[in-house]
Amino acid sequence: MKPIYLVAAAGALGFVVASLVVVDEQQQALLIGKDAASGTQLAPGLHFRIPLLEQVQRFDGRVSTLDIASESVLTAERKNLLVDGFGLWRIQDPVLYQQQLGGDELKAVSNLKALMASALQANATHYALEQLISGAREELNQAVLQQVREQARSWGIAVLDWRLRQVEVPGAFNAEVAEHMRHDFEQAAQQQRSETAVLVDKIRDEADQKRRAAVAEADHQAQVLRGKADARALAIAANSYGKNPEFFNYYRSLQVYQNGFEKGQDALVLKPDAELYKQFAAQP
Amino acid sequence: MSSENRNADPQQEQPDWKRICEQYWQKLSQRSLEYYEQHQHQFSTRNLIAGGAALIVAAWAGCGFYQVDRGYRGVETLIGAYSSTTSQGNHWHMPWPLGQVTLVNVGTPRVVELGLRAAKQNFNIPETLSISRDHGLINAGWLVQYQVDDARNFLFNVANPEQTIKQLTDSLGREEIARYTLADLTREGGATAAGAVKLQLQKLLDQQHAGIQIIGVRLAEIMPPDLARSAFEDAKRAHDEHQHLKHEAEVYANEQITKARNESQRLTREATSYAAEKVAKTENETARFEQLLTEYQKSPAIVRKQLYLDAQEHILAATRKVIVTTDQLPGMYFVAPTLSNVALQAADPNHAASIVDNSAHAHKAVRGELRPSRSKP
């Protein structure tokens, strides 16, 4: 084999390899000929090109997010606000994209940002602060999206979504609100505590009162019981002693004397004519 | 004998492996050589190249086998373009550089955190405040749990799924928070808001064919701005204390009920026993009286005398005695300090009457009566 054939074969192989184009599933690709501003879109898969004459431009075909950070807007009541938002976008038409923006992603992003910011400013003036915080957000989102979408389409870009994120009142507003909130919380805590104290006292007092009432009622019942017993005892006594009141008087008096002297500390002063002594003296 | 046997056995059981190997190797090389000599015409350069190529192709093709574990999906692409998605099991796909397989975890839930306080502090991110319905400012922390629903869409449609979820949650979350007051959010409002965010988030992701399923959204943290935080926590504490103190008071109330019951029962018990005792005592006394009465009715004089003397006996046994004869005029009585009216009455009924009358005045008067007045009558 002559070396010339080898060189030719190697050259042919290199040509073939250079002419192969593989486009990935997540990519958008464009085959660009002499005219840098136009080209044909390539689907994912295998393609061929003429090496050196034709170029392949690849873009990300997936959905990306785009941040709009702290854009200053004026509300309907001429209030200054700082607003955050974000958009979702993807390259829709690589041919247009290449034509309009030269396929430059940085340029696309900065253009989109400017577009979104101006659309946001233009639309925000139709709403009051109150509406931007809640209520009209969805409406504003749609309005901005509509406006951005139109313009972006001419760049070959599809803006899929646009949404408001943070709405902030600049300056001392946040600190004022925070101070106000702190005051409210302190008041709430204080109120809660005093309510608690009142409630707890009430529960305790009621319990004490219930206890006293219950005990008083029980005491009443007990006294009635004692009284009944006393009455019954008196009835029994009356019935029994009534059989001979004279003897009862005598018997009971003796008992009283006897019980009265039982402590042993008393002294008796007796006359000699006392009955007992008389007996004692009479009989030697 | 035995030692000889021992020496002989190992020689029989351990063949010379080296020699055996050599024998086999010789046999093999000899056979190969014979085969080569017999079939020499088949070993042309062309055939050798073809054989080598076939071997390489077979090895390359063998690289195409792969396994998909449970909870994974294999996404196959052929020369860049998507071809198919495979699930659990063994598969074959055209190997590199023609084909490619990407394994995507679809079984394990993934978590996106947004605005959590700890993260903010760690990474020095400034507060991101949402505005509530009552115009309060809230630091909201969100947790979003998601899993891959469609591996193909997940791989090829959205460039940065996590970032996208974050942005969408941030936007939707602020919108929801603006519908509630801070107090609402700390109660049921938080869950309701999270539910609404979840629905919206899923809808928006589906619009982008993100291949993501949202499992759950949670409003994990609700905090007022740093300046108001300690007061907020104090208010929460006051709320907790309320429950605690109320519970304590209720315990006390229950205790009081028990105490009241015990006390009432004690009072009733005491009264009952008093009643029983009182009646029994009276019955005993009357029984005794009636016994005596029976005897008295038979012979009153004897019984009277008997009872009188019994009493005298008791009294005399229990007291000190002073006996005064009538013709003597005593200068002074020795009177025990506890001398009772009854004792005087028993000794001298006439005097006793006057003492009883005067006893209402004063102790001194009683004493005065007792001493010198004696000598006057």
Q: In percent, how much of chain A has pLDDT > 70? A: 91
pLDDT band at A189 (very low <50, low <70, confident <90, very high): very high
Q: Which residue of B has its CA nearest to A232?
A: B279
Q: What is the pTM of this model?
A: 0.65
pLDDT band at B272 (very low <50, low <70, confident <90, very high): very high
* Residue pLDDT, tens place only, B347-356: 444 443 333 3
pLDDT band at B376 (very low <50, low <70, confident <90, very high): very low
Q: Which of A123-127, B197-201, B367-371 has the lowest mean pLDDT?
A: B367-371
Selection from A82-96, A242-256, A265-279 with the highest mean pLDDT: A82-96
pLDDT band at B360 (very low <50, low <70, confident <90, very high): very low
Average pLDDT score over residue span B290-299:
87
A70 contacts on B by Cβ (under 8 Å): none
Selection from A210-224, A265-279, B125-139, B216-230 with the highest mean pLDDT: A210-224
Q: Check CB contact under 8 Å for B324 and A222.
A: no
CB-based burial label for A2 (10 Å; 0-12, 13-18, 19+): exposed
Average pLDDT score over residue span B136-162:
92
Q: Which of A222-231, B124-133, B215-224 has the lowest mean pLDDT?
A: B124-133
pLDDT band at A280 (very low <50, low <70, confident <90, very high): low
DSSP H/E element including A261: helix A245-261
Is residue B308 scored above 80 in pLDDT?
yes
Q: Which of A72-76, B292-296, B315-319 has the lowest mean pLDDT?
A: B315-319
Average pLDDT score over residue span A72-88:
89
Q: Check CB contact under 8 Å for B278 and A229.
A: yes
Q: How far is B25 from chain A (nearest CA, A)?
A: 40
Q: In percent, how much of chain B has pLDDT > 90? A: 41
Distance CA B359, CA B342 (A): 13
Average pLDDT score over residue span B357-366:
40
Report strand pairing: B110-114 vs B99-105: unpaired
pLDDT of residue B98: 87
Is residue A113 scored above 80 in pLDDT?
yes
Task: Please give, one letter per residue, the 3-state secondary structure of A128-165.
Answer: CHHHHHCCCHHHHHHHHHHHHHHHHHCCCEEEEEEEEE
Is residue A99 scored above 80 in pLDDT?
yes
Backbone dihedral angles phi then psi of residue A83, each to the nearest 5 degrees: -125, 135
pLDDT band at A1 (very low <50, low <70, confident <90, very high): low
Q: Which residue of B has its CA nearest to A214?
A: B260
Q: Which residue of B has its CA nearest to A20?
A: B79
Mutate: best of B172, B226, B285, partner A, most A CBs <10 A: B285
Distance CA B32, CA B39 (A): 10
Q: What ipTM goes with this model?
A: 0.71
Is residue A268 scored above 90 in pLDDT?
no
Distance CA A58, CA A77 (A): 47
Distance CA B326, CA A273 (A): 8
CB-based burial label for B115 (10 Å; 0-12, 13-18, 19+): buried
Q: Is A150 on the interface with B (CB under 8 A)?
A: no
Residue written as token pair 């006359």: A271
Q: CB-CB: which of B234, B268, B318 is closest to A221? A: B268
Q: Is A247 on the interface with B (CB under 8 A)?
A: yes
pLDDT of residue A253: 87
Q: What rounded mean pLDDT belongs to chain B?
A: 80
pLDDT of residue B130: 83
Distance CA B158, CA B260 (A): 74
Q: CB-CB: which of B270, B282, B322 is closest to A233? A: B282
Q: What is the dihedral of CA A227, A233, A235, A238, to 10 degrees?
A: -130
Say which amino acid occupies A17. V
A83 contacts on B by Cβ (under 8 Å): none
Q: CB-CB: which of A182, A222, A258 is closest to B270? A: A222
Is residue B188 scored above 70 in pLDDT?
yes
Check residue A101 and report its DSSP letter: H
Q: In percent, how much of chain B has pLDDT > 70? A: 79
- A:166-225 residues touching chain B, CB 8 A cutoff: 166-168, 174-175, 177-179, 181-183, 185-186, 188-190, 192-193, 195-196, 199-200, 203-204, 206-208, 210-212, 214-215, 217-219, 221-223, 225
pLDDT of residue B299: 87
Mutate: best of B104, B125, B137, partner A, most A CBs <10 A: B137
Closest CA to B63 of B103, B94, B84: B94
Q: Which residue of B has its CA nearest to A70?
A: B128
Residue written as token pair 């574990």: B69
Instruction: State how far the alpha carbon of B324 is from the alpha carbons of A142, B290, B312, B346, in Å.
Output: 132, 39, 18, 14
B281 contacts on A by Cβ (under 8 Å): 233
Q: CB-CB: which of A64, A167, A215 is closest to B159? A: A64
Burial A113-125 (b: 16+ CB within 10 A, else e): bebbbebbeebbe
Residues B101, B66 contacting (CB under 8 angstroms): yes
pLDDT of residue A235: 92
| The residue count for chain A | 284
Q: Check CB contact under 8 Å for A189 and B179.
A: no
pLDDT of residue B39: 82
Mutate: best of B233, B314, B344, B370, partner A, most A CBs <10 A: B314
Residue B99 bridge partners (DSSP): B78
pLDDT band at B324 (very low <50, low <70, confident <90, very high): low
Q: CB-CB: which of A138, A163, A257 is closest to B346? A: A257
Average pLDDT score over residue span A6-25:
90
pLDDT of residue B185: 87
pLDDT of residue A109: 93
Residues B252, A207 contacting (CB under 8 angstroms): yes
* Residue pLDDT, tens place only, B40-59: 777 778 888 999 999 999 99
Q: Is A248 on the interface with B (CB under 8 A)?
A: yes
Q: What is the dihedral of CA B306, B308, B314, B319, to 10 degrees?
A: -150
Is residue B338 scored above 50 in pLDDT?
no
Q: CB-CB: which of A85, A181, A230 is closest to B228? A: A181
Q: Check CB contact under 8 Å for A266 and B314.
A: no
Average pLDDT score over residue span B311-335:
65
pLDDT of residue A255: 84
Mutate: best of B75, B83, B286, B305, partner A, most A CBs <10 A: B286
The residues near B262 (Cβ < 8 Å, ≥ 6 apart) are none
Q: Which of A53-57, B145-149, B312-316 has the lowest mean pLDDT?
A: B312-316
Is residue A200 scored above 60 in pLDDT?
yes
Is residue B266 scored above 90 in pLDDT?
yes
Q: CB-CB: which of A133, A177, A268 is closest to B343? A: A268
Q: What rounded mean pLDDT belongs to chain A?
A: 87
